Structure 1
Amino acid sequence: MSHPPSDEIAIDLVDPRAPDALRCLNAYYDELARRFPGGFDVTRSRDPEAADMTPPRGVFLVARSVDRPVACAGLKGHGRWGEVKRVWVSPSTRGMGLATRLMARIETAARDLGMTLLRLDTNSALPEAVAMYRKAGWTEIPRFNDDPYPDVFFEKGL
């Protein structure tokens, strides 16, 4: 499979309610519904409010290739700490380091917003995500929320 060069993929700060953000989020939810053994229903998840992922509380990023959204990631602000949410990369652009680029931008945004700690949750049905977070220096921690879907929890000091 041929990919566009990664430097041709722009990452922009967007409102999580914008059309490109919603396209990414809906593709993400569809993928979770296929991959999770019991499916996925976003209404059962602790879905962050859009305002929690916009400045000055947080951010939402969308990566675009040739004006087509291909990846996203959100940062939900909790004051001095932030929660990484909705990291998704289109299957057509996986293997290009987009998730790593998105996570680096999230960490920079978190620092800029005065956060000193990031947390995230994921599901063991997404082994590539779990492996990426471990490789990137995230530490596994006990459950920190009551969302019914995640079963693996991480944090990283900034």
Structure 2
Amino acid sequence: MEAKQQSEPVAVPDVRSLRRFNRYFTRRIGALDDHYLGQDRPLGEARLLFEIEESGRGGEGTSLRELRARLGLDAGYLSRMVKALEAQGLVRVGVHGRDSRVRVAALTPAGRSEVAEQNRRADALAEGLLQGLSPAQRGELTEALGAARRLLRLAAIRVEAVDGGSDDARACLDAYAADLHERFPEGYDPATLVPPHEVSGASGAFLVAYEEERAVGCGALRTLDPGARVGEIKHVWVHPGARRLGLARRLLGELERVAAGRGFGVVRLDTHASLTEAQAMYRACGYTEIPRYNDDVYGAHFFEKRLTAPRRR
């Protein structure tokens, strides 16, 4: 079940601006041409070759399941493209060396040569586009493109409520514990992780963030004091590859919305002394530091935020 974000409606000018940019850029780079970059194939096949090369550098090839998730393609459409490239001698399909149930695709020598030529032509196209700008303007464009990529990645991530004992929840918590064990001078004991029953069902909630079907973040909510309508936010974590997107703030906001929806008027949380970036985020998100409220051995700073009841629609 997806955690629905009760945000403000998207303004019509914002929608039109994004669509206008998409139309311009796809036309400018030749995405609409059946012979993308002057090669004998459309953009879809060219992108598939590129992804197989990029994600298959370890030598095992790339699983078709991973390709489907990464490119957001229908299984049937992906299968047809792979077969077409296989027939042209650019791709070979087999089974994974450690799991015969997993089908993988890898480039042939001819496929690798085509991708190398594709990269050369794409670089030349990009260089040609940038020639008309001054160095300062190129820097401005590079910065803007970086911001656009970051925000679009964040927008594409979905946040779902899962059972606290599910495989994805436990995998995220294992990664969270390993991360803190490396960062804390005293290490981190996984036995202190919140038990699944406290963050599931009527007792709480567990949220997982997914990017291209991979779990890249999590956060939990449990009931701290039902009589006083107080909840506690625990284990907000983001995978290193998805950091600096704003995902931690999004997870925090989603947990606050879940808490408000359950009738909590206040949420609390604690954090370690070494997690200065977390402390700064909580303060920026409206949390106020309070005296110690629990016996968490890793807690050094304790925060509280009063919530606003969700608006009725």
Q: What is the TM-score when the length of structure 2 is the normalising length? A: 0.48
Q: Which amino acid aligns with 2:284?
A: K
Shift of 1:55: 2.6
* Counterpart position of 1:65: 211
Q: Which runs of 4+ in 1 moved over 2 A?
A: 1-4
* 2: CA distance, partners of 1:56 / 1:108: 15
Task: Name the residue aligned to 2:25.
Answer: none
In the TM superposition, what whole-angstrom CA distance separates every residue of 1:87-114 from its partner, at most 9, and x where no partner exists? 0001101111111111111111111111
In structure 2, the partner of 1:21 is 169
The answer as to 2:195 corresponding to 1:37 is no
Q: By how many angstroms is 1:16 displaced? A: 1.5
Question: Higher mean Cα deviation, 91-100 or 48-57?
Answer: 48-57
The DSSP-based 3-state class of the residue aligned with 1:5 is helix
3-state SS, counterpart of residue 173 of structure 2: helix
- Match of residue 303 from structure 2: 154
Alpha-carbon distance in structure 2 between the residues aligned to 1:17 and 1:57: 13
Per residue, is there more strand in 1 or in 2? 1
Equivalent residue for 1:11?
A: 159
Which shifted more, 3-12 or 21-30? 3-12
| Counterpart amino acid of residue 129 in structure 1 | A
Matched, 1:117 2:292: no
| Structure 2 SS opposite 1:96 | coil
Q: For the Cα contact (< 8 Å) 2:174–2:190, is it kept in 1?
A: no
Q: What is residue 77 of structure 1 aligned with on the other side?
A: 223
Q: Which runs of 5+ in 2 are unaligned?
A: 1-145, 308-313
Q: Is the 8 A contact 1:56 1:113 kept in 2?
A: no
**1:126 aligned partner:** 275
Q: Give the 3-state SS of the residue equivalent to 1:131 in structure 2.
A: helix
Q: Which secondary structure does the structure 2 equivalent of 1:140 belong to?
A: strand
How far the C-alpha of 1:126 sits from its partner, in A, is: 1.0
Contact in 2 for aligned 1:15/1:60 (Cα 8 Å)? yes
Residue 144 (str. 1) matches residue 290 (str. 2): no
Match of 1:100 in 2: 249
Instruction: Report how far residue 65 of structure 1 moved.
Output: 0.6
Contact 2:162 2:207 in 1 (8 A): yes
Q: Are residue 54 (structure 1) and residue 192 (structure 2) matched?
A: no
Mind listing any 5+ residue stretches in structure 1 that lack a counterpart? none
Report SS of the residue matched to 2:297: coil
> What is the percentage of aligned positions where both structures have the same residue?
43
Task: Give yes or no for contact 2:268–2:304 (8 Å, CA) kept in 1.
Answer: yes
Tell whether the 8 Å contact from 1:61 to 1:72 is kept in structure 2 after alignment. Answer: yes
What is the rounded CA distance, in whole Å, between the counterparts of 2:201 and 2:259 in structure 1? 10
Taking the aligned partners of 2:170 and 2:295, their CA distance within structure 1 comes to 24
In structure 1, C-alpha distance between the alignment counterparts of 2:263 and 2:203, rounded to whole Å: 10
Q: For residues 92 and 101 of structure 1, what CA distance do their matches in structure 2 show?
A: 16
Matches of 1:57 and 1:81 in 2, distance apart? 12
Q: 1:91, 1:49 → 2: CA distance?
A: 24
Q: CA RMSD in A?
A: 1.5
SS of residue matched to 2:188: coil
Query: For 1:39, what is the secondary structure of its paired residue?
Result: coil
TM-score normalized with structure 1 length: 0.93
Question: How far apart in 2 are the matches of 1:27 and 1:50?
Answer: 16
